[in-house]
Amino acid sequence: MLGLVAAGLGISIVSASMQRLAREGVVFRAITDLRVEVPLVGVLGPHPSPRAAAFLAGARPVARSPERD
C-alpha cells in the first residue's frame, strides 16, 4: 500500500505506528478529528490451541459489544 503512495498513485490512511517505516516519498500527517474502531472477532473451534484460548480469555474483559454500549 505504501509503495503505491510513494509512487504517487494515491493516498492511504494508516496507523501512527506505520511512520516507523520511514518510506521515501511518503509523508505522514496526523488526522486529529477522526476516530476509528476496528472490530475484532474471535471464534474458537472445538479444540482451540492454548495460545488462541489465552488470547481470547485476555481480550474478553476489555471487549466491547453492542449489548454493553
Dist. CA 48–CA 32, nearest whole Å: 39
Closest listed residue to residue 12, CA positions, set 24, 28, 25, 23:
28
Dist. CA 18–CA 14, nearest whole Å: 7
Q: Report pTM.
A: 0.48
Please report the pLDDT score of residue 51 as a whole number: 93
Dist. CA 5–CA 23, nearest whole Å: 10
The pLDDT tens digits for 20-52 are 888 888 989 988 888 777 777 777 788 989 998
Closest listed residue to residue 13, CA positions, set 56, 40, 26, 67:
26
